[in-house]
Amino acid sequence: MTRPEEIRDRMANIREIESIVSTLRALAVAHQLEARAHLEAIRAHEAIVAQALSAVLSGADAGGPKPTGEPGLTIVVGAAQGFSGAFGERMADAAMAEVAGGAELMVIGGRTLSAIVERGQIPVWSTEMAPHALEVPALASRLSDILFERLGKTSGAPVTLLFADPATADPAPIRRTLFPFDFSRFPPLHGSPPLTTLSASALVSALVEEYVFAELCEALMLGFSAENAARAAAMSRAQSNVKRIATDLKVAFQRARQEQMTTEIIELSTTTGEQARAGPGGHPEPRQDL
């Protein structure tokens, strides 16, 4: 029989776990809300750059690099930490599908990086995800610099972004092509082209870099939000399990306490009966026959 004291200790541990789970869930939800607010600013910036590209393309040649036979590169925006359900593994599986197609990997997020390495694939570059939404632009800027430096050595190599969007009903990662750059997304505006002090090619090149930076910001912010959405969902499930276990332990404690009390009453009753039969001197009272 399990002692009530042991069950009481387990109940105390469960209460501590419940407190930790609640804290993790609250932090994940807060990070989601923070990311959502920043996404609005990122997308507004992206729209302004797209409008500028449309205006400049009215009088510019948007040739751009053409695809080559070189291996492609996939930037994977994965999970940084655990406690996020299958999110990190799902991103690793999607990354390995890219590898099967001949792509090399750049990985953001330590948890997904570990899962990819366990599958026998070593990325050409990796880093940790930004711990807070405010740090995402700095990470996007660093990633952009590394990416354009690599593109300068392998002009025309295709580059793909792989990330998750918590706003979509489909849990499958989103695959977006960064290069070759698709200028058809920016139809030239009608009317006279804008007056500029730079050559059209230099201006287009600068705007493309800015637009890629905005796309990287958006993908990183969505990945940050998706990981926290997965963590909030996982912690919500954990909360339900903790509450169920706490209820079961409470019932078990009451049952064990009742059994302990019943055992003590039986022992006391037995001891009292033996003492009564023993008499005052500690020996059984003589039997008196009628």
Q: What is the CATH number of domain 22-190+199-237?
A: 3.40.1380.10
In the prediction, which pLDDT does 169 show?
64
Parse the chain into domains and list their residue ranges: 22-190+199-237
Q: Is there a contact between 236 and 84 (Cβ–Cβ < 8 Å)?
A: no
> What stretches in the chain show pLDDT beneath 70?
1-2, 58-71, 155-156, 169-170, 188, 190-195, 272-290
Encode pLDDT of 233-252 as tens digits. Answer: 888 888 888 888 888 888 88
In the prediction, which pLDDT does 191 show?
64
In the prediction, which pLDDT does 270 show?
79
Longest dimension (CA), the chain: 134
β-strands 174-179, 104-108 pairing? unpaired
In the prediction, which pLDDT does 175 show?
92
- Smallest CA-to-CA distance from 158 within 176, 173, 140, 177 is with 177
Encode pLDDT of 110-128 as tens digits. Answer: 999 999 999 999 999 999 9
Q: How far apart are CA 216 and CA 224, in angstroms?
A: 12
pTM, full prediction: 0.79
